Amino acid sequence: MRSMLLAMLAFSLGLAQAHARDSAREMLPGCRDYVAVGRGKSPAERADLVTTAQCVATIKTILLGQLLVPTLRFCRSKEVTVNDAVELAVHEVGARPQMGDKPFFIMAIAAFQKHWPCQ
């Protein structure tokens, strides 16, 4: 019983730390690096590769996962790429610095729902 309580406490602490690392404030620089490198405005070796990879993985997961959960649904056209989604997330999330402590993925989903609503 005691080991189960310790495991639950460790899990809870891990979630709190993960939440801080996945905040919009923490993720946005990696997303911006991705956009800048893609546009040729920044050399790839200057990008924070870990945060950039987390950003792209988060966006890809949202794009795949949105098909499964109706409350998170948005309807993007087939022409919309991962790059387009990252750029939209950078624009929308970056426009709300006061919400920097919110989870990045929640803000990205809200941006996608706003710009790609289902009819």
Residue from 107, 109, 88 nearest 26 by CA: 107
| pLDDT, averaged across the chain | 80
- pLDDT at residue 49 in the model: 82
Give the CB-side neighbour count of residue 86, counting CA atoms within 13 A.
26
| Higher per-residue confidence, 54 vs 17 | 54
Q: What is the pLDDT of residues 30-47, one digit of tens each?
A: 999 899 888 777 766 666
Is the pLDDT at 56 greater than 90? The verdict is yes
Domain ranges of the chain: 22-115
Instruction: In whole angstroms, give the CA distance from residue 19 to residue 35.
Output: 23
76-90 burial code (b ≥16 CB/10 A, e <16):
beeeeeeeebbbbbb
Beta bridge partners of 103: 23
pTM to 2 decimal places: 0.76
Average pLDDT over residues 71-100: 92
